[in-house]
Structure 1
Amino acid sequence: MEKIIRWGILGTGKIAKAFATALREVPDAELAAVASRSLDSATRFAAEYGAQRAHGSYQALADDPGIDAIYIATPHAMHHENALMCLQAGKALLIEKAFTLNRREAQDIADLARARKLFVMEAMWTRFQPAMQEAKRLIDMGEIGNVRNLQADFGFPADAGPEHRLFNPALGGGSLLDLGIYPLSMAAFFLGPVRGVKGYGELAPTGVDTQASFALQHEGGALSVCTCSLNTRTPTTLTICGDKGFLRLHGRFHHTERFTIGLNDGSEREFHFPRIGNGYAHEAMEVGRCLREGLPESATMPLGESVELMGVLDQLRAQIGVRYAVD
């Protein structure tokens, strides 16, 4: 692996632009190429963000020999098809969340990646934020004692029509896949694998969930309670509780720079850990580290865990009555 990681971005939407901006602040990385289904769109993106090449098809990016890793930034209904195409072309992948529409699609990607010995990671950027990493380190050291529960929420009122990806079942719409993946993933990050789940939801006229609440039981017996919503703005905080105190990641927790530890004696300490730029640089740096070290996947966001969490989302959707055509 060369020292410079040559990135390709598949897609030219809002999240692709955020990632391209972040790559400018990643050491030993460059934006080598971008792809869109429209060459004009790819060309404009390349000119704005400094990509060396613009491709008018996703296949052309997958086949580009000057690419080490591809960031898949399309809507999650397209991730399965896009990822398999890129893996067949021999590319390492960073796949935007939600990883896929369901567990079966996620397993397909994992199976092909392992068969071809290619690196794949879900772009759960929150796990790589400096504040989140330090919070995990302190909890693992026993700072708040034996951790037994977690509460997290993520919500905002979405002003979008039924054809928009947030509410369109053909595009994997709904609060669970767009927002619920954050508290779900972080609950597993702090409390371990999920062994039981119970959820409730409110459905839109299109049949996808506008909001959902769910409780998780983790393998060690700890519990978490999570909420996601596309019709209310929530504080978007995350609190982990132990028998010696609690740790609260301040809103909006998915890219916060601050957290507070409160102990049973009433004392509180606040911690501040700045992120790089808009925060997406940290996940790109993790991909670069793994590729240079020849690692098959990231220990912080393992491929198998992404598959399992898609399975949890499948269970939740079944419980609240949300079904996609690919299920």
Structure 2
Amino acid sequence: MKQLNWGIVSTGRIAEQFVSDMPLVNNGKVLAVAARKKSDAQAFADMHDIERAYGRYDDLFADKDIDVVYIATPHTLHFQHAHAAIMAGKHVLCEKPFTVSSEQCRQLTTLAKTRGVYIMEAMWTYFLPAIVKAKEWVEQGRIGNIKHVKADFGYPIPYDPNLREYDKKLAGGCLLEMGIYPIAIAAYFLNRDIDYWHVNGHIAPNGVEDDVIMLAELGDAKATLATSFQCKLNNFAYIIGDKGYIAIHDFWRANSCSLFVLDEEVEKFEDGRESFGFNYEAQTVGEDILSGKLESEVVTHARSLWLQTQMERVKGFIL
């Protein structure tokens, strides 16, 4: 099988987890990594046995041997780095949130199509076996018609305006950092537009949101969603139908899901993986690129635009 050469943009925690999972991907290997400092890139390369290390992102984009880049820089840099990669003719997997505005999202996807390269938002949750299994149960009618989706994602992060998560200049706030996951999981299972948002949020001293509760009306279904830097939330997703429900613990990184009818657990799925789970999206991206696709069928450009648009709607209620 042909292998794609990957370039990694950033040496942060998520990039390290992604690279740790790459040995499980049979259609790609990591050839190079870039950081703002050559010493950081070299240390990362030495740790993960990566052949090439660059102290400038543009040098990685200029490497003719790189087929696809994984971008894991701070939110506000996604557009700049994805744009540069596209212009260099590279395929792109860009961490969520894809961009920090719907207009940036439109520009990137349009540019990628124009330049004939693949680009996808790295919504890795959609590719996890437990999430795929839960969707299979829904499509089989195991829980009937979905009436509610409940999902939240929150961890306590003490307020510090200098932290990336709170930094206003880096698009800080819990909505883009964590809240995108509950919104994305509701979209994955309901796959319909939101008629109306009811939103309540709390603002940190520097003006970014640090706690948000969202109720979305989607026709005859409702989504109850939350995200927070103030406290640890339950971090479950519940997909609730008129015949049963599905419970997914730590849904954004899920390794299991359970099917219930009333109070009885009638089926449970566990993937038994030893990876973080990034290998599933990387494998699929490789398959897409090698088959000549310019867009994912799972995380479509339209889905990324929808997510950006909904987060802008939510922010409109609280900022």
**TM bucket by the smaller chain?**
over 0.9
Q: Which residue of 1 aligns with 2:207?
A: 207
Q: Which residue of 2 aligns with 1:119?
A: 118
Counterparts of 2:220 and 2:75 in 1: how far apart (Å)?
32
Counterparts of 1:76 and 1:260 in 2: how far apart (Å)?
33
Counterparts of 1:160 and 1:199 in 2: how far apart (Å)?
22
Cα pair 2:27 2:287 within 8 Å, conserved: no
Change (3 A) 1:293 1:221: farther
Using the TM superposition, give the Cα deviation of residue 28 of structure 1 relative to its aligned residue in structure 2, in angstroms: 2.8
**Which residue of the other structure, out of 256, 259, 281, is the alignment partner of 1:258?**
256
Q: Any gaps of 5 or more consecutive residues in structure 2?
A: none
Q: Which residue of 1 aligns with 2:83?
A: 84
Counterparts of 2:2 and 2:274 in 1: how far apart (Å)?
21
Cα pair 2:159 2:204 within 8 Å, conserved: no
Cα pair 2:102 2:305 within 8 Å, conserved: yes
**Which residue of the other structure, out of 297, 306, 312, is the alignment partner of 1:308?**
306
RMSD (Å), alpha carbons = 1.4
Change (3 A) 1:163 1:64: same
Q: How does 1:3-14 map to 2 (within 5 A)?
A: 3-14=2-13
Change (3 A) 1:83 1:265: closer
| Matched residue SS, 1:163 | coil
| Matched residue SS, 1:143 | coil
**Matching residue's letter, 2:257:** F
Counterparts of 1:50 and 1:26 in 2: how far apart (Å)?
16
Q: Which residue of 2 aligns with 1:59?
A: 58
- TM-score, length-scaled by structure 1: 0.94
Cα pair 1:160 1:166 within 8 Å, conserved: no
Cα pair 1:148 1:222 within 8 Å, conserved: yes
Using the TM superposition, give the Cα deviation of residue 29 of structure 1 relative to its aligned residue in structure 2, in angstroms: 1.6
- TM-score, length-scaled by structure 2: 0.96
Is 1:278 aligned to residue 276 of structure 2? Answer: yes
Cα pair 2:5 2:28 within 8 Å, conserved: yes
Cα pair 2:9 2:71 within 8 Å, conserved: yes
Q: Which residue of 2 aligns with 1:217?
A: 217
Counterparts of 2:54 and 2:198 in 1: how far apart (Å)?
44
Q: How does 1:90-101 map to 2 (within 5 A)?
A: 90-101=89-100
| Matched residue SS, 1:195 | coil
**Matching residue's letter, 1:286:** T
Using the TM superposition, give the Cα deviation of residue 141 of structure 1 relative to its aligned residue in structure 2, in angstroms: 1.2
Counterparts of 2:217 and 2:145 in 1: how far apart (Å)?
16
Cα pair 2:133 2:269 within 8 Å, conserved: no
Cα pair 1:72 1:95 within 8 Å, conserved: yes
Counterparts of 1:313 and 1:297 in 2: how far apart (Å)?
22
Per-residue deviation, residues 143-176 of structure 1 (Å, max 9, x unmatched)? 1111121000101101352111111110010010
Counterparts of 1:312 and 1:203 in 2: how far apart (Å)?
19
Q: Any gaps of 5 or more consecutive residues in structure 1?
A: 322-327
**Matching residue's letter, 2:78:** H
Q: Which residue of 2 aligns with 1:295?
A: 293
Per-residue deviation, residues 195-223 of structure 1 (Å, max 9, x unmatched)? 332322100001000010112233x5421
Using the TM superposition, give the Cα deviation of residue 275 of structure 1 relative to its aligned residue in structure 2, in angstroms: 3.2
Using the TM superposition, give the Cα deviation of residue 266 of structure 1 relative to its aligned residue in structure 2, in angstroms: 4.4
Per-residue deviation, residues 196-251 of structure 1 (Å, max 9, x unmatched)? 32322100001000010112233x5421110000111111000001111101112x
Count the aligned residue pairs.
Answer: 318
Counterparts of 1:303 and 1:164 in 2: how far apart (Å)?
30
Moved more, 236-245 or 44-53: 44-53
Counterparts of 2:34 and 2:144 in 1: how far apart (Å)?
48
Q: Identity of counterpart residues, as a percentage?
A: 34
Cα pair 2:149 2:238 within 8 Å, conserved: yes
Counterparts of 2:255 and 2:178 in 1: how far apart (Å)?
19
Counterparts of 2:78 and 2:255 in 1: how far apart (Å)?
30
Change (3 A) 1:278 1:77: same
Change (3 A) 1:262 1:46: same
